[in-house]
Amino acid sequence: MTTITTGDGTRIFFKDWGDKNAQPIVFSHGWPLSADAWDAQMVFFAREGFRTIAHDRRSHGRSDQVWDGNTMDQYADDLAELIETLDLHDVILVGHSTGGGEVTRYIGRHGTGRVAKIALIGAVPPLMLKTEANPGGLPIAAFDAIREGTYANRSQFFLDLTAPFYGFNREGKTINEGLRQEFWREGMMGGLKGQLDSIRAFSASDFHEDLARFDRPTLVIHGDDDQIVPIGASALETIKIVKDAVLKLYEGADHGLAQTHQDRFNADLLAFIRN
């Protein structure tokens, strides 16, 4: 397996496909998945002439399962170590859901010196948790339920989660059993402790200051029927903070739109990168 070892000794697994001399696209996955969630995009963009890279977040997938350090700051620092170890420049950063938070916190902590463009897909910024200052967020009870389900019966909870994640619970939607099983497989590869910690990281992290540091072309893609990261407290707020950010709204789309709307998503992301 291809890994880097971070400063605290954690091995981070990554895939590195395509022409190593081409412009790199670095993909950050959502919770509780792994780099495998981006396989179709990695093949598509490598065929379009890009270098495509995706890593398993610490405690997810094939990366080390660590007891401590499952925080958004550390995720961002791991991403920075990956980019610096591979000596990547002119990078296109693409983050889905929690990965969108990871990318955003990376900008906040490490700047945009190595970055060309940013794409946030169904991403959690600026803040998912409902607070007095963020009344449009989700109540803490929603995240407590995710914690309880993950801890009590992770295997069944992950299968059940695919229904709202991909919109399979909507009338007229065809259930893709293979996609459900793939979600389950990726989720079960990760470590329970890290996945539980990550729920706090993606729900309670405040990204307002990080978004304010964006100074590169930014694309925000979000489904208006996203049942996991509701659009009102996420994408619609992000575009108010990031100057000149472009919002592409997918009408009726779910949280996992990179899979359920794969061809459209790939084409829109390619157009943004090449524009």
For residues 143 and 98, the answer to whether their CB atoms sit within 8 Å is no
Of 72, 132, 146, residue with least CA distance to 102: 72
List the domains of the chain with CATH numbers: 3-274 (3.40.50.1820)
d(CA 238, CA 254): 18
Q: What is the pLDDT of residue 94?
A: 99
Of 102, 93, 55, 68, residue with least CA distance to 207: 102
Per-residue pLDDT reduced to its tens digit, 59-77: 999 999 999 999 999 999 9
Reported residue count of the chain is 275
Q: What is the pLDDT of residue 162?
A: 98
- Could you give the residue numbers annotated as active site? 97, 226, 255
Q: What is the pLDDT of residue 164?
A: 98
Per-residue pLDDT reduced to its tens digit, 207-246: 999 999 999 999 999 999 999 999 999 999 999 999 999 9
For residues 228 and 97, the answer to whether their CB atoms sit within 8 Å is yes
Q: What is the pLDDT of residue 1?
A: 85
Q: Is the dihedral of CA 12, 14, 20, 26 positive or negative?
A: negative
For 240, half-sphere exposure in the C-beta direction (CA atoms, 13 angstrom radius) is 11
Q: What is the pLDDT of residue 174?
A: 96
Question: In the chain, which stretches have pLDDT less than 70?
Answer: none
